Amino acid sequence: MGLRKIAASAGVVLAIFFTGAAHAQEFPSKPITIITPWEPGSSVTLLQRVVAKEMEKILGQPVIVDPRPGATGAIGIGAAIKAPPDGYTLVTTVTSSFVAPLVNKQIKFDMFRDLTPVGQMGSIEFLIVGRSDLDVSDLKGVIAKAKASPGTVTYGSSGIGSALHITMAALAAEAGITLRHVPYKGEATAIVGVMAKEVDLVIATLAGVSPKVRAGELKGLAVTSRKRSPYLPEVPTASEAVPGFSVESFNGIHAPAGTPEAVLNKLESALLKAMESPEVIEFSKKASFLRDPMPRKQYGERIERLITSFKPLIEKMDIAPK
């Protein structure tokens, strides 16, 4: 190759490099949207609004939270996957986001291929609650009731194939009982359902139901974490009724696959800084949310471990949508 051609090729490479670098430096130059695949009133969406407000201060551009519930998160996640990989459309992810495609084969996207982590916001405790007039006061009582009358005890969740649904189905299998599942559109509507006495129990995030437990509007029966929650220490763990049983969850933010590394670095930095802000710390305490920020690499590794642990549960249970 002649010197002129080599110089010309080098010039093209340098032009591409500097164009990419300039793009990263000017990011963000317009509003950013974070899609939450859950209802506006869900605990995850409420947290995301507070975090987005803090990210907005750090990034110098509006950060808009856009709830798009339905199909156990598949609607919102599908919309994010179709967005340009430029950092201006992100999506809130929770345990169910990665579990649902394992259960529902109609979900065609691949979370690992089509999305890339930005970072983790926190860990999530699951809480099993009963309606206020339920004639038992803990999970041991629920198990006894279900054994006495198989299939008559009902529970609601945020949807078929959600992590909440799988957790409850796995718990029932471990306890040797039959519970009747009533799927709702999301966590908020499931909580309304148990308040209205449409179902006996609901499994939800602790942040979503703890205020109603403290107010005596619902009965806290068990948390599924390994230890009792610091926010409701009087509520026993599920393992106190079913030895060895525990399920823990988490949430964070993802971007479409192919988002430039420099843009991901800016977003990750903004998210981690936002999680340390006094506003987010205060909200977390009030909402009984376990703030647990984590860089994107570690968040991705945690998701992979989750899938490894959930696959055997899913394979053992017939919980796919009919």
Structure confidence at residue 25 (pLDDT): 62
Q: Decide if pLDDT at 14 tops 90.
A: no
Go through the domains of the chain in sequence order and give each one's CATH number: 31-124+249-316 (3.40.190.150), 126-240 (3.40.190.10)
Question: Which strand ranges, in their side-by-side order, compose the sheet holding 115-124?
Answer: 63-67, 32-36, 89-94, 249-256, 115-124, 290-295
Helix (H) and strand (E) counts in the chain? 12, 11
Share of the chain above pLDDT 70, in %: 90
Q: What is the pLDDT of residues 141-183, one digit of tens each?
A: 999 999 999 989 999 998 887 888 989 998 999 999 999 999 9
Closest to 53 in 3D by CA, of 270, 251, 288, 252: 270
Instruction: Quick: pLDDT tens for 196-210.
Output: 999 999 999 898 899
Tokens of 128: 């099993």
Residue with tokens 């201006």: 88
Say how far apart CA 264 and CA 71 lie, in whole Å: 28
- pTM, two decimal places: 0.78
What one-letter code names the amino acid at 111? M
Q: How far is CA 287 from CA 34, 101, 135, 281, in A?
A: 21, 29, 28, 10
Report the distance separating Cα 198 and Cα 166, nearest Å: 20
DSSP secondary structure code for residue 150 in this structure? T
Q: Which of 254, 240, 249, 228 is nearest to 309 (CA)?
A: 249
Return the pLDDT at 187. Answer: 87
Strands 115-124, 249-256: pairing kind: antiparallel
For 70: left if phi > 0, alpha if psi spans -120 to 50, otherwise beta; the answer is: left
pLDDT tens for each residue of 245-299: 988 788 999 999 999 999 999 999 999 999 999 999 999 988 888 899 999 999 9
Whole-angstrom CA distances from 289 to 213, 246, 313 are 15, 18, 26
Type of residue found at 219: K
